[in-house]
């Protein structure tokens, strides 16, 4: 993984994990042990789904750069749909507190997307190939 990609992944995963840790503590205080478990599961789901999506997007950018924007939009839509499916499937679970899970899922998703946008804006990614000077005469 190139250093820009690793840096962007790091700059998105760390704030999301921090929000997940805060949500775990708050959920543990408010809803007890099941709340803390729900917050941990929510954090892991977001970091796993969004991290895999980031890796897929980076591979797409390398192999099919002309599809990068369309793939990004499709990927984010698919990720949100999968998160909603997770919410629907786990709605009546007794393994953990569902509200803590749902609020943590929402908070970490928002933080992930915001941190990812910030990381891309701060990254110094060249978009012009310096080796390509134009058509040969």
Distance, in Å, from the CA atom of 78 to the CA atom of 61, rounded to the nearest integer, reads 18
Give the helix, strand, coil percentages of the chain, each rounded to 5.
80, 0, 20
Largest CA distance in the chain: 73
User: Is the model's pLDDT at 64 over the cut of 90?
Assistant: no
Considering only residues 125 and 84, tell me which one the structure prediction assigns the higher pLDDT.
84
User: Is the model's pLDDT at 127 over the cut of 80?
Assistant: no
Instruction: Give the model confidence (pLDDT) of 87-100 as tens digits.
Output: 888 888 888 888 89
Q: Kindly report the pTM of this predicted structure.
A: 0.77
Instruction: Give the model confidence (pLDDT) of 112-124 as tens digits.
Output: 989 988 887 887 6
């Amino acid at each position: 993984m190139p250093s820009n990609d690793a840096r962007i992944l790091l700059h998105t995963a760390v704030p999301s994990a921090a929000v997940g840790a805060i949500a775990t503590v708050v959920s543990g205080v408010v809803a007890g042990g099941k709340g803390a478990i729900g917050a941990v599961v929510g954090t892991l789901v977001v970091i796993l789904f969004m991290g895999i999506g980031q890796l897929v997007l980076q591979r797409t950018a390398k192999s099919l750069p002309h599809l990068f924007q369309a793939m990004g939009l499709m990927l984010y839509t698919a990720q949100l749909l999968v998160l909603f499916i997770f919410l629907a499937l786990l709605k009546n679970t007794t393994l953990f507190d569902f509200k803590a899970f749902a609020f943590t899922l929402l908070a970490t998703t928002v933080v992930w997307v915001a941190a990812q946008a910030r990381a891309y804006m701060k990254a110094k990614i060249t978009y012009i190939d310096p080796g390509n000077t134009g058509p040969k005469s």
